[in-house]
Amino acid sequence: MSVTTCRGKLLPKQCLQELFDAVAARYRVLGPVAQNGAVAWKPVAKVEEMVLEYPDTVLPPKQWLHRPMETLFSVKKSLELQEAEVLQEPQALFALHACDLTGILRLDVVFSKHYKDPYYNQRREETLLVVMNCVRPPGPNCFCSSMEGGPFAQEGFDIVLTDIGESYLVETGSARGQEVIGPLGLEEASEEAFQVKQARYQQSVAKMPKSLNNDGLPDILNQELNHPHWGFMKEQCLGCGNCTMVCPTCYCYSVMDRLDLTLSNATRVRTWDSCQLMEFSAVHGGNFRKDRAARFKQWVYHKLDYWIDQYGTLGCVGCGRCISWCPVKIDLTEAIREVRGDGK
């Protein structure tokens, strides 16, 4: 796979704050911040508040587009409808990993293919994406190169930075990105800078700690609906839903109405939901996926099989979060290796 080769600029590393300030002049900046021994996406005012080399954030940056909980609208007793305020000001996600950018691009399809979700899309249209390419796989569970998720951004970014030594190679992928970078008057990048970028891409791919062989996987999965490993998973998996909550592409949600104690105001709220939870498949008259193995399988099959029919891509970007944050260390790459039985 070749990496983006449009013309770029050079930004000395010590000048990263200047680029940040140019972004912050137009957008509320959200970045990766160390918190309680992990890393979380938070509002930031300076580069030094961020951790630029981070394994992964617990929750993906998706949380700022598809909110974990949000009010859709409220209604007063008088039947007066009040629309929710979706976004107060434009926002920028700064130092995104390529896998999380890919996650956002895959959610763009989900939230616009059949029905254009107004809440997601309003935020998305007002969000600048600034990617920091992973010149080395940042975590022990990364396998993005197997899933066309990274480690370098290929498309869909506004600005992408690549560490090439003393400087960042800065490339833009949109007019909005160009508006931010243009006034900085950065030096034009040489051909050598692009060669360094290409070499760093290959080094990063070579060091990827995990892999998932998705060659012909949908057919294999469809033949292995009753593979004994799914039964083994029933004993292992706790059905806690962590894997779906941290996933950059999971999008399922639940909607509920809340009434205040005076009975004069109702709000319609949506919250993230998970196919791994028993209640998710409870419908009138029963539950169609009571079995934990069936729920685990649904999650795997949706990511690696059904998603292709639905949206034309894989539903996994190889970020490794589901492995990192599974309390019993279930590893999607190992599960697929078991089911394929090919040792790859």
Q: Return the number of the residue (38 or 330) whose C-beta is nearest ligand SF4.
A: 330
Would you give the binding string for ligand SF4 spanning residues 253-292, x where CB under 6 A is met? -----------------------x----------------
Distance between CA atoms of 311 and 306, rounded to whole angstroms?
Answer: 9
Neighbour count for residue 309 (Cβ, 10 Å): 8
| Helix residue spans in 40-137 (DSSP H) | 98-110, 118-125
Task: Out of 47, 330, 334, 338, name the contact with ligand SF4 by CB under 6 A.
Answer: 330
Q: Does 318 help bind ligand SF4 (rule: CB under 6 A)?
A: yes
Task: Please name the helix (run of DSSP H) or strand (run of DSSP E) that holds residue 83, with its range, or none.
Answer: strand 81-83
Q: Return the number of the residue (47 or 330) whose C-beta is nearest ligand SF4.
A: 330
Give least dist CB 59 to ligand SF4, A.
11
Size of the site for ligand SF4 (CB under 6 A): 25
Q: Return the number of the residue (32 or 248) whose C-beta is nearest ligand SF4.
A: 248
Give least dist CB 100 to ligand SF4, A.
9
Closest CA to 300 of 278, 322, 324: 322
Task: Out of 200, 229, 303, 340, name the contact with ligand SF4 by CB under 6 A.
Answer: 303
Q: Please, which residues bridge with residue 128 across strands?
A: 92
| Helix residue spans in 10-148 (DSSP H) | 16-24, 98-110, 118-125
Cβ(49)–Cβ(210) under 8 Å?
no
The two tokens of residue 329 are 């260390």
Q: Does 336 help bind ligand SF4 (rule: CB under 6 A)?
A: no
Report angle CA 92, 98, 101 to the nearest 5 degrees.
50
**Conformation bin of residue 320: beta by default, left when phi > 0, alpha when psi is -120 to 50:** left
Cβ(210)–Cβ(141) under 8 Å?
yes
Q: Return the number of the residue (31 or 320) whose C-beta is nearest ligand SF4.
A: 320
Q: Does 150 help bind ligand SF4 (rule: CB under 6 A)?
A: no
Q: Return the number of the residue (327 or 341) whose C-beta is nearest ligand SF4.
A: 327
Give least dist CB 241 to ligand SF4, A.
5
Task: Out of 332, 336, 339, 340, name the contact with ligand SF4 by CB under 6 A.
Answer: 332
Is residue 175 classed exposed, middle or buried when 0-12, 13-18 and 19+ CB atoms within 10 A define those classes? Answer: exposed
Q: Which of residues 213-252 bind ligand SF4 (CB under 6 A)?
A: 237-243, 246-249
Q: Does 337 help bind ligand SF4 (rule: CB under 6 A)?
A: no
Give least dist CB 334 to ligand SF4, A.
12
Rounded to a whole number of angstroms, the CA Rg of the chain reads: 21
Q: Please, which residues bridge with residue 35 across strands?
A: 38
Q: Does 321 help bind ligand SF4 (rule: CB under 6 A)?
A: yes
Q: Which stretch binds ligand SF4 (CB under 6 A): 28-36, 83-91, 194-202, 316-324?
A: 316-324
Residues that bind ligand SF4 (CB under 6 A): 237-243, 246-249, 276, 303, 316-322, 326-328, 330, 332
